[in-house]
Chain A
Amino acid sequence: MAISQIVSDSIAANTVSSSLIANGSILSAHVANGAITSAHITSVANTAITGVINSSQIATSAQYMGFKNRIINGNMLIWQRGTTFTNVGSSYSADRWSSSVSSNMTVSQSTDVPNVQYKYSLLVVPAVNATPAEFVIRQWIEQQNIFDFAGQTVTASAWVKCSKSSVTLRIGTQNATGGGDAVSTISVTSGTWTKISYTFTTVFSAITAWTSTPNAAGAFFDIGFVGSTALTTSDYLYITGAQVEVGPQATSFDFRAYGRELILCQRYYQKSYEPGTVPGATVTNENAIQQDWGVAPSGSVASSVFPLAVTMRTSPTLTIYDLVGNSGKVAGLDAGAATTNNTSTNTQNATSTRVYVRMYAVGFYGISYMFTVSAEL
């Protein structure tokens, strides 16, 4: 019988085993394009693929490599400002995470996590009994970090554990022509860690142009409660593993090196304090930024310039502290070891690359100070 007379209907299922097929006898020319789908492949051994997989062989609708997760500090590892924040309105808590609330919340670092892959979660508790229109933790995303979201489907995901039976994910565009926003409320089991996800098909796909400057906000991502949820101070919401990525499905969390994640955070906020020291805490002279002029330039002008660790998003807001936490002040140094805290300066400013302090008619031989700089979106 000619081989062309054997059609697939003539072969009973599972009767042709691999031992009956001579090695190399089936060429790609014998297989119709698209005839072998993923459902027909059980597994492919590493040694079964030769050559190079190039980008054209990877679906363009999803990005699986590189800067996959556009959320910074999605696993809540970095807390430069502190670890407990009471009566938070829209201010920042964990790095890069702010909120949008119509009644205040308490935010803290928690070690209650979904599994051993995560070290911390962010815990949100209502500050008062209320029924707020919205009560969400929010991350603003810089526009130039999501240029490629335009025209794409985007998927958001996170691990959550809460006292309610549902949690809302929301994404909205900013400074974009044709964008929008969308909300998805997802059922969860109260008191149990659940990985939730939602694919936003319309929010970014409608974008035809980005407006404003590239370092402005391009989008926001919210996790929490939207739509007048009755909350009491006994309610809670834990969040970690937050991710926003291009593509139609949630993929595994993009774990990045701690140092790299910190640098990403420092584009928006950094400090001269040690990582575990809350800004405004008491520090020793030796641990502060110390500018020694050698003389007391009375009647003249003296200044201190300190380079920032990372170039910031834009010229930041600067808060200087003396050695005991007085904001807006520095510690003056005399010829001996004595310091005079609560000393005023004439100018304090920061650019995206450096901090600058200037004093007129200085009666000190030098100054010591600490600082925070914020260029959040």
Chain B
Amino acid sequence: MEYNYQQVANIDKSINDSIIVRLPDNAWIPNNLDNTDWQAYQKWLAQGNTPLPPKE
């Protein structure tokens, strides 16, 4: 399955760096190097991809 990712905003509209949302399954992945989904996200970023901005 091809995944995309979307950032999450804090209440003050800043980017929440502790989490990323995987699309299309809307899984919330913690910023944790032991988490293999986070490792996959890091590989995705390293390939030159950019996550979607937070929803308004």
Contacts and interface: CB of A to CB of B under 8 A. Distances in A.
B34 A317 contact: no
Interface residues of B, number: 21
A300 to B, nearest CB: 11
Nearest to A215: B34
A313 B30 contact: no
B12 to A, nearest CB: 11
B37 A374 contact: yes
A1 B26 CA distance: 92
Nearest to B18: A349
A377 B27 contact: no
Nearest to A344: B55
Contacts of A242: none
B32 A319 contact: no
Most-contacted residue by chain B among A216, A318, A351 (CB, 10 A) = A318
Contacts of B32: 314-315
Contact of B28 (A89, A215, A348, A376): A348
The main secondary structure of chain A at its interface with chain B is loop
B30 A317 contact: yes
B35 A314 contact: yes
A89 B32 CA distance: 24
Contacts of A318: 27-28, 30
Contact of B34 (A216, A319, A328, A374): A216
Interface in B17-56: 18-19, 21-22, 25-30, 32, 34-38, 55
A319 B26 contact: yes
A219 interface: no
Given A346-B11, A349-B18, A375-B35, A319 B30 contact: no
Contacts of B27: 317-319, 327-328, 374
Given A347-B8, A347-B19, A349-B18, A317 B26 contact: no
A255 interface: no
B29 to A, nearest CB: 5
Contacts of B21: 328
The 4 closest A-B pairs by CB, nearest first: A328-B26, A314-B34, A327-B26, A315-B30
Given A317-B30, A327-B27, A375-B35, 5 more contacts: A317-B27, A318-B30, A319-B25, A319-B27, A377-B36
14 contacts: A213-B34, A216-B34, A301-B11, A313-B34, A314-B32, A315-B32, A320-B26, A320-B28, A328-B27, A347-B16, A350-B28, A360-B11, A374-B37, A377-B36
Interface of B: 1, 8, 11, 16, 18-19, 21-22, 25-30, 32, 34-38, 55
